[in-house]
Each structure stands twice: as structure tokens, then as C-alpha cells.
Amino acid sequence: MFWKLGFFKMGNALRLLYGKCFQPSTTGDSDSVGPPYTTTAPAVSALAHDLFNFEITSQVPEALSQHVVSSREAQVTWYGKLLQSWKEAKPPPKTPEEVARLIVETLSRHQKADVEGLLEFYGLPHPSILAEISTGVPTRLPEFVFQGGTLPEFVFQGGTRLPEGVEFEMHTLPVDGNTVPDGDGLNVYVNTDDPRESPNIPRAVLMAVVRRSKARAKKNYARADELRQKIIESGYQVIDLQNEEILARKYRIRLRGIDAPEMSMPFGKEAKEELVKLVHGKCLRVLVYGEDQYGRCVADIYCNGIFVQEVMLKKGLAWHYVACDQRVEFATWQKEARTKKTGLWVQSNPEKPWEWRKKNKREAEISTGVPTRLPEFVFQGGTLPEFVFQGGTRLPEGVEFEMHTLPVDGNTVPDGDGLNVYVNTDDPRESPNIPRAVLMAVVRRSKARAKKNYARADELRQKIIESGYQVIDLQNEEILARKYRIRLRGIDAPEMSMPFGKEAKEELVKLVHGKCLRVLVYGEDHYGRCVADIYCNSIFVQEVMLKKGLAWHYVACDQRVEFATWQKEARTKKTGLWVQSNPEKPWEWRKKNKQEGR
């Protein structure tokens, strides 16, 4: 009787749910046990019945908890999602395989054990698409169709079907339209449960998330807000999604191949509004082709199968950025909009955004949080020459990257032209690259120390050190730091067994011990050391070593004129090693002793 009454009381949505799934009973017996609509697949029938019951009572099956790991509250969330997905499915699933696929796709952001348990509970097959949960990406992506046809030139990369040139793929959480800065940029968040993200979460972020959770449990909301801000500053965010907190990583996206009008240009606001309309509240498929000079991911964006760049071009709200992308279809879509005089093409001679930026003497960049011109770094011989702009930061030409070290321990200085330094892994350049094994060792070491298992803690500390990292106690706070071996660029100090070798080392220790250094890295030598210029409280270390006669200008590797000048000055004054009438060159001494390097 329940089935009959329940069925005829259903609204239109549930009529669709049942009516499409079931076929009329062949018995025609109104008194027979079971629903007036039956199916040849009991698993499909069972789930449909439970979803129908959930719509009325908001209750999930009691026995489900024996098959899954999550709480009853989480199960209620699943059934709400499944009910909605089933209603929206066109056509609704009819076979066990189709139902299994619907469950997997709907609950793709939930734990694999829960999805497998749910399938097992209903006796549904475990299709190959379950691999999507473990990877975060389907093993074979469907054809994404846009208005101009399917994406061309598909290739297989790592078992995943992706367009040629794509470095990786992301699937975002729902986009907040308020964070869209303009017509060709986006800010998106990706769930850190994604296998590509989970190994790279910085330790500081993980610790902040744990501490924030504890602070909220103790109702210390001021501390919780403080920790939340720390998480945000690290490029992450704790997002409340359907009553479930998710740790997500932020990505800044630059739409590949188009250039929308700037906000202060005609149609700039319209371009932004259209992009917001396309993506707000949607989960996006992002195909990343690389990174631009501002650290943004250059990407193609798909939203429910719609190719976003195509829409922007066809509506005349962006230019085809030919300098960076020569795709023929982009030119076709722009020509179509131009012919129809759509959007910015209502103007007889619209200004190109890149020319507008050039005219206004500024780069098309969304706030990077980095000053476009850093102050001059002054050393004793004057200012650093030949400055250029790289990635929005002012660095000397040829520098690959810059580091700022923790205080240097003078006891680790090996000689007069080498250093061992540590860099805090909270540094944005370091945090994404911490090996998963190191993070796990740090967490386990912390637990071992809490249990006073110091032997185990020491064992784990050794593992961290062997991986090129170290846990350093700095002002009563433990910091995970990465070790770098540095070779001072452009100088060659006497070996330790040569005259003035010990003096050179002592001078370098005096210069750097206890200090935080600025390290400009130009490359790596064949011993794996970073070849770098070193600055200590604005003092150029190589300059001091040369002027004090405690190093040679290493002309074979560095032809800087000022280095020759500083060496000549020391030689004239007979300072340091120049008190000798004919001091031996370190590189010749090494050759004579049939050894290389140190």
C-alpha cells in the first residue's frame, strides 16, 4: 500500500524519476507485493526506491553504514546529490552500469571507499570509471564538444586523453564570480584531495589547518581566523561546500589565445560580465599549457562542455591573441563576430588591448602581490648593473631565481668560496615541491616526540636530513627547511691546505655566521651546487673576499670587470694572499694534485 500511495503522491520530479526507470508490471495484479512499476534490474529498483523514500523522509538506509566509512550526515549529503543528479539525467539511468556511472560521477569528490561501499551495498558493478576517483581525472575523457566541433589532435599522456601540448588538467570547485578580475582571467580553487595536489601541500598549511580545527573546537574564533588568513596567504583556502569543509589550492588562470579589453577600455566591463555569467557557480575543466611571466596558468577552459574562449570571441568580447596562439578556429570566430559587428566590433576601429597597454606604459597583469620595481640593492662598489624585469621582480640579468636563507651556521662553511644554507619551505618557491615522504616523516617525527619515543624521532630526523631537508629550531619554533650547497660565483679561494686557505674560510664565516643571506642563483655546477652571488646585509660577499686578498678572480667562469678591479686593488696593496710574490692559483694547485673540486 505504501508503494501505491507513495507513487501517486509523488510530484512531477519523482514521477520522472520512477516513470522513466520502471516499466508497468505485467501481472496487472493490484494486490501483488511490490511497486506498481517494476524493473528487470533489482539494483536499479532498490536505489530508485531509496531515493524516493529519501525525498519524502530525508532518511537513508540504516544498513548503509556497514558498507561505508563516512558519517550519517555525509550519507544524507550523498543522497541529496544523487537525487538531484537522477532528476537532471537525460535520459535517466536504466541499467546497473548507467546507475554505477551516475554514482561515480556525482560523488567523484568523495572518498573512494565510500563510493565503492555504496556500489557494493546496491550490488552495482564496479566499472572502470572508478579509476576516476583515485586519479581525480577520467581514464578516458569524453569528447568535449564546442560549437565549432570537437577538440583536434588528441593524444594519450599518462593514460589520459588530452589535447597535444597540455601539461596537465584540473577540475575546479564551483567558481565564485566575484573573484573574476576581467574578461580573460580567472581565480579558481582545486580540491587538495586531487592526487596531483595532495603530495604538494606545504607542511605549514597542513599544520595551520589542524590548528584551526582545534581552535574552532575550543571556540577560539580569533585564533581560527588568524590561522585561516595564514592558509590564504599560502595560496590555499578552506571552503565550505555543502556543509563540508574542503582544503583547496588557488590557481590564477589566463585564458589561452584571447585578449579581452582592459576594464577601463570600451567593452571591458561587458567582457568581464560575460565571463562571470559563463563560469559563476560552475565546476570547470582546465587544460593547462604552461605558465606566463606573472605565474598564471595559461589554459583552455571548458564549462559544461562549452569552450569559454569560443564564446568570448563569437560575442565580440575578446581579440584573438595571434602573437601567442595561431589556432585557425580562433581567427574564424573573430572574423564571424567582426562581420556581424558584435560586441567591440560595433566600433569602426577598436583599439587592441596590447597596444592600449603599451600606450599606457604598463603590463597587463592582475595584482601579483610583488612590486614591479624593487629598491636598488647597494654594495660597496656601487649598484648592481644591467637590471631587467623578470616575472614582475627586478633581478640582475642571467639570474635564474632568488633565495632568502635562514640564519647561516658558520660551522657548516666548508671553505672560502662555498656555503651550506637552508631555506624555509614556507617560501612559495619551495612549498609546492616538498616530497611527500619528507612531509610524512615530519608528521611522524612530531608524533614520536609527543609520545617520548626519541629513538624513533631521531631515526625520522635522519631520514629528513638524507632527503636534503632539516627540521630547524628557530626562536622556539620548529621550521622545515631545504638545504642548498652554494658555490660563490666568480671567485676561487685557496684550498684549505694552501696558504691563506684557513684565513679565507674564517673571513667567510665572519661575514655570514648567524646572518640571513640574499642568494641570486645563476645556475648549477657539475657538483650540484648553486652558483650564486651572495649578499649579507647589502654587503656583496665576493667583493669583500677579493678586496681582502682572500680569493682569486675566477676569470675562466666570470669576466665581470669589477672583479678584476677589486683583485688588482688587493694585489697593489699586497693584501692577504698577495703578500706572496708568486701565489699559486687554486685551479692549478688542484690540477697538480690530480683532484677536481672539493
Q: Of the candidates 314, 302, 322, 304, which has an alpha carbon nearest to the alpha carbon of residue 258?
A: 322
Q: Note the maximum CA span of the chain.
A: 117
Rounded to 10 degrees, the C-alpha dihedral 30/31/32/33 comes to 120
Query: Rounded to an integer, what distance in angstroms lies between the CA atom of residue 29 and that of residue 397?
Result: 87
Query: Rounded to an integer, what distance in angstroms lies between the CA atom of residue 259 and that of residue 325?
Result: 11
Peptide bond into 91 cis (omega under 30): yes
Check residue 592 and give its pLDDT: 85
Q: Which residue has the cell 603590463?
A: 363
Does residue 365 have an active-site annotation?
no
User: For 175, which DSSP code?
Assistant: B
Grid cell listed for 18? 520512477
User: For 280, which DSSP code?
Assistant: B
**In one letter, which amino acid is 53?**
N
Below-50 pLDDT ranges, the chain: 1-40, 128-160, 362-393, 596-598
Q: Which residue has the cell 627540521?
A: 471
Complete DSSP assignment for 507-568: HHHHHHBT--EEEEEEEE-TTSPEEEEEEETTEEHHHHHHHTTSSEE-TTT---HHHHHHHH
Query: Rounded to an integer, what distance in angstroms lies between the CA atom of residue 220 and that of residue 504?
Result: 54
Active-site residue, from 252, 254, 489, 529: 254
Residues contacting 386, CB < 8 A, separation 6+: 396, 397
CA 593 to chain centre: 49
Do 312 and 275 meet the contact criterion of CB atoms below 8 Å apart?
A: yes
Q: Cβ atoms within 10 A of the Cβ of 213, count?
A: 14
Alpha helix stretches (DSSP H) within 348-401: 353-359
Does residue 252 have an active-site annotation?
no
Active-site residue, from 101, 249, 252, 296: 296
Query: Rounded to an integer, what distance in angstroms lies between the CA atom of residue 498 and that of residue 161?
Result: 61
Check residue 333 and give its pLDDT: 95
Grid cell listed for 449? 616526540
Q: Which residue has the cell 606545504?
A: 202
Grid cell listed for 345? 566590433
Do 432 and 199 meet the contact criterion of CB atoms below 8 Å apart?
A: no
Check residue 161 and give its pLDDT: 61
Residues contacting 499, CB < 8 A, separation 6+: 577, 580, 583
Q: Which residue has the cell 560586441?
A: 343
pTM: 0.40
Does residue 98 have an active-site annotation?
no
Do 284 and 175 meet the contact criterion of CB atoms below 8 Å apart?
A: yes
